[in-house]
Structure 1
């Protein structure tokens, strides 16, 4: 049986409250299952927090800002862990969200459709 570990819901709550402008914009398009899948924000996934997580499809959406530019090797390790656990990670920059939200949403919607086999 897998070892049970409590989730750090206080940290997740803080991350949701302190969402970046790009995260807030994308959430407007992902909330209420608007893209055909239910997403949650700042969800603990193993030792990490997913910016957006669709549990059903094991789809993680990450938005990369300045902190990701400083230590990109962390993202590589994180993505490898996620992949090993069966998650698919889509990454977008904050600039993508601000400058091309339609393209970001289309990419997410197409990935959802692909994963559903439709």
Structure 2
């Protein structure tokens, strides 16, 4: 079994076209000087004391903001995504979801929505 760190590295190597484009806009503090992490594990303790990991596509700790690039697979994961968003929201995180097409075709709108949520 691979570790969570190795799994995150693997996810970064298999990024989608939309994730790659968005990462180019977020990395190295390019967007209003905020630090973003890509495929960074967030650990949550379950009611049974077990560690659960959620791995958002992008995460800004300073702004407590999670950004998800949703591709076709998310059409089949709606219940999981809804529960995951609830858990992360309960931790005080804000979650933004963008469709891959939206990222690819309307990057300026996506970046403006992110900027509004960084404050």
Q: Match of 2:78?
A: 72
Aligned to 2:112: 106
TM normalised by structure 1 equals 0.87
Question: Which residue of 1, 11, 15 corresponds with 1:19?
Answer: 15
Deviation of 1:99 after TM superposition, in Å, equals 1.1
TM-score (norm 2): 0.86
Counterpart selection for 2:35 from 9, 20, 38:
38
Give the secondary structure class of the aligned counterpart of 1:62.
Answer: strand
Q: Which residue of 2 aligns with 1:3?
A: none
Q: Which runs of 5+ in 1 are unaligned?
A: 1-6
Structure 2's unaligned 5+ residue stretches are 44-52
Q: How many residues align?
A: 107
Q: Which consecutive segments of 4 or more residues in structure 1 shift more than 6 A?
A: none
Deviation at 1:57, TM superposition (A): 1.6
- The Cα of 1:27 is off from its aligned counterpart by 0.3
CA–CA distance in structure 2, aligned partners of residues 58 and 11 of structure 1: 23
